[in-house]
Amino acid sequence: MTKFINLHTHKFSNLSDVIEVVNQYPWEFNTSVPNYSIGIHPWYIDENRIQTDLEIIKQKLKLEECLALGECGLDKRIEIPLELQISVFKKQLEIVKQTNKPIILHCVAAYDEVIAMKKEMKIENPMIIHGFSKNEQVAKSLLNNGFYLSFGKYLLRNKDLEKVFTFAPENKILLETDTIEESIYQVYEKAAAIKGISLEQMKAIVFTNFSKIFS
């Protein structure tokens, strides 16, 4: 049976028909979560803890149950200086480059910077923008540069995003819940309705993409 994939969630729900990539932070790690990603989110950069956090990330990325680096990235709408964010992001990318594991990205108003960094550092690992909410132009730019787009919260909340989701190529999309109350099933139902396909087809598309990215 093809399982539902939840590419990015902050709560482990232990559903038998869902593979969840649960977001973990190095400083509050939960050992009972079977599959997770780990990273330093730009909101929570603490200069007193960066080295320790990076060391934990390095160790966890060697483990099979650690599926990805993230969420990590850049956010221009927060107080933490962009230079510091870039430095911490680059250090995490250097670590993940030693593996073939994907990167789950938090990106706010810094798409050009993230694209430039992917090129500059020659990142071969799959890069996924989680919680995508932007317009077709931004989507095109990311897709042209080899990024994947994960949709969730804003697909349920923002009518304008439906056009972008319709346009997004089937082999480049993933689905997630992040921190919303709605279930991953609701996200899939909405996604299938927008694409005009059955729920089973939607599951197959995302499962295929997930299997390829997380091989």
> Does 130 show up as a binding residue in the annotation?
yes
CATH number at residue 180: 3.20.20.140
Q: Give the sheet arrangement for strand 148-151, strand by strand.
A: 4-9, 18-24, 36-38, 66-75, 103-108, 127-129, 148-151, 173-175
Average pLDDT over residues 128-135: 98
Count CB atoms within 10 A of the CB of residue 130: 25
What's the Cα-to-Cα distance from 124 to each of 121, 150, 175, rounded to whole Å? 9, 18, 22
Per-residue pLDDT tens over the stretch 43-73: 999 999 999 999 999 999 999 999 999 999 9
Helix ranges, 97-183 (H) = 111-120, 136-144, 153-157, 161-167
State how far the alpha carbon of 115 is from the alpha carbons of 28, 66, 127, 192, in Å: 30, 25, 10, 29
User: Per-residue pLDDT for 215 more than 90?
Assistant: no
Name the pairing type of β-strands 127-129 and 103-108.
Answer: parallel
Between CA 75 and CA 73 the distance in angstroms is 7
CA distances from 186 to 97, 117, 137, 175 (A): 34, 34, 27, 11
Q: Distances in Å between the alpha carbon of 135 and those of 59, 79, 86, 113? A: 37, 25, 24, 17
> Is 106 annotated as contributing to ligand binding?
yes
Mean residue pLDDT of the chain comes to 97
Q: pTM of the predicted model, to two decimals?
A: 0.97
Does the pLDDT value for residue 129 go beyond 90?
yes
Q: Are 80 and 43 in contact (CB under 8 A)?
A: yes
Query: CA torsion angle for 113, 117, 123, 126 (degrees, to 10)?
Result: -10
Query: DSSP readout, 51-92?
Result: HHHHHHHHHHTTSTTEEEEEEEEEETTSSS-HHHHHHHHHHH
**Phi and psi (nearest 5°) for 38?**
-140, 140
Domain range for 114 is 4-213
The 3-state DSSP class for residue 156 equals: helix
8 labelled binding-site residue: no
pLDDT tens readout for residues 179-198: 999 999 999 999 999 999 99
Q: Note the pLDDT of residue 1.
A: 84
pLDDT digits (tens, 9 = 90+) for 145-177: 999 999 999 999 999 999 999 999 999 999 999
Number of domains composing the chain: 1
